[in-house]
Structure 1
Amino acid sequence: MSVRLRLGVNIDHVATVRNARGTDYPDPVAAALLAASAGADGITAHLREDRRHIRDDDIARLRAELPVPLNLEMAATDEMLAIALRHRPHAACIVPEKREERTTEGGIDAAGQFARLAPMCAALAQAGIRVSLFIEPSAEQIDAAIRLAAPVVELHTGRYAELDGPDQAGAREVELRRLADAAALAAKNGIEVHAGHGLTTGNVAPIAAIPQVRELNIGHALIADALFVGLAEAVRAMRAAMDAARG
């Protein structure tokens, strides 16, 4: 029997809508609680340096109110490290961050930034926070994660998600194989494998079917679907798509 695949729901874009009008609604914490009640196994929130969506008080409330684990996405900065150590979420996923980007554009270069990441990973681990590295699916990056003693990697599925045209089927299969090979290599070395970015109910199945993947973190597509069917139903539909692929 295959291991049940966990679903982490990213609620950043509920905060994006809130911040667009400077109101206190829609409340991302309320959305997180609704997602959890609908079957989410965890909640992900990215506290960006420019606070474009999630804010500091959101993290404090999420930490206090969530019945499921909180995964804090964070840049590799001293400010974010201090915030993580103060709030002590279940997990901290270190991601690359550029102020001008619309969304995260790729994985962090764990190999190239090894000296910067090593003390940060050690400090998080010492505080009892599970360290995750958001990386590209490559042997070089997994080797860096091993050397950094990261217990988790999250593989960037953005390129796979973008290759969605009928003329891109071959390139998509190549990227899917790259993800599967990276997942197998990480798991072989004792690292838990997560994946995410750009996943929808329409494209999630091949990623969910990779046996070494233990968790998917999905946000934008769920919030988009929620506009039409509601967040609880969007979460249930994603859960069903993941379970069908896994089974």
Structure 2
Amino acid sequence: MTKLSVNINKIATLRNSRGGDVPNLLKVAADIQEFGAQGITIHPRPDERHIRYQDAYNLKPIVTTEYNIEGNPIDKFIQLVLDVKPTQVTLVPDGDDVLTSNAGWNTVANQLYLQEVIAVFKEAGIRTSIFVDPDLKMVEAAAKTGTDRIELYTEHFASEFEKGNKDAIKPYAEAAVLAHQLKLGINAGHDLSLNNIQFFKQHISNLAEVSIGHALISESLYLGLENVVSMYLNKLK
């Protein structure tokens, strides 16, 4: 079975917008696990605009499933991961100015750098994954970095699938086959949703884990909103 790791960045964004502690990130993480999710993902950025670095420490005793911390391996991020020791660290080539992740690693040009960073995490006993596009050359070079897994960057698939182009799955399926042959675990994430996740899962062999945040939280606003409104009305009778 493919595991679901829920990215809770959007919960932190909502909390930060009011400057308080509502919604409580730790309670939400605990509840998401209670609801059945097999992992919690966070992606702290240097400006801490959603997940704060302190959140990563505070979540450590709360996450009883798999704890995945994503981010660009700048010095501050590396130290955070080494301190917290999550189940998995996912390396993402985010610049400081990006709104959200928008590309995978060039694992050819950055191979030596990735090898060095991954070696640090593996020595600490932390499973590693690196964000890559569904490019066979990038997957092949990823295997040479020493990483345990890759995470396929699925924005292009999701965008094309929304337009009705189901052939957009093909490079992802091919990348997954090659990754498995190279003994790499396969994760996936970015813009996966209730609308496309089943199709993606059916066509990607050996898919170990998906990390979903924005779509899942956005969908919950609708699928859970009726229940909350009803509860308010009952309390106001």
TM over 0.5: yes
- What's the counterpart of residue 223 of structure 1? 217
- What's the counterpart of residue 181 of structure 2? 188
Give the counterpart of 1:10 among 7, 10, 13.
Answer: 7
Give the counterpart of 1:75 among 72, 76, 87.
Answer: 72
Q: How does 1:201-212 map to 2 (within 5 A)?
A: 201-209=194-202, 210-212=204-206
Identity %: 32
Give the counterpart of 2:41 among 44, 52, 55.
Answer: 44
Post-superposition offset of 1:165: 4.8
Contact 2:176 2:206 in 1 (8 A): yes
Post-superposition offset of 1:114: 1.4
User: Any idea what the Cα deviations from partners look like across 1:164-198, whole Å, max 9, x if unmatched?
Assistant: 454x52xx41x310000000100111111011110
Q: How many residues align?
A: 225
Query: Larger radius of gyration, structure 1 or 2?
Result: 2
Question: Whose relative contact order is higher, 1 or 2, with alpha carbons under 8 Å and at least 6 apart?
Answer: 1
RMSD of aligned alpha carbons: 1.6
User: Any idea what the Cα deviations from partners look like across 1:103-143, whole Å, max 9, x if unmatched?
Assistant: 11121222221122111100000000000001101111112
Give the counterpart of 1:178 among 171, 179, 182.
Answer: 171
- What's the counterpart of residue 159 of structure 1? 156
- What's the counterpart of residue 102 of structure 2? 105
- What's the counterpart of residue 242 of structure 1? none
Give the counterpart letter for 1:229 in structure 2. Answer: L
- Structure 1 residue runs of 5 or longer lacking an equivalent are 234-247
TM-score normalised by structure 1 residue count: 0.87
Q: Could you tell me how far apart the structure 2 residues matched to 1:194 and 1:32 are?
A: 20
Q: Between 124-133 and 112-121, report the one with greater CA deviation.
A: 112-121
Contact 1:45 1:54 in 2 (8 A): yes
- 1:147–1:165 CA distance, 2 compared to 1 (3 A): closer
Give the counterpart letter for 1:197 in structure 2. Answer: H
Q: Between 27-36 and 5-14, report the one with greater CA deviation.
A: 27-36
Contact 2:112 2:145 in 1 (8 A): no
- 1:219–1:128 CA distance, 2 compared to 1 (3 A): same
Post-superposition offset of 1:228: 2.5
- What's the counterpart of residue 207 of structure 2? 213
Post-superposition offset of 1:77: 1.1
Q: Could you tell me how far apart the structure 2 residues matched to 1:132 and 1:69 are?
A: 14
State the secondary structure of the residue aligned to 2:183.
coil
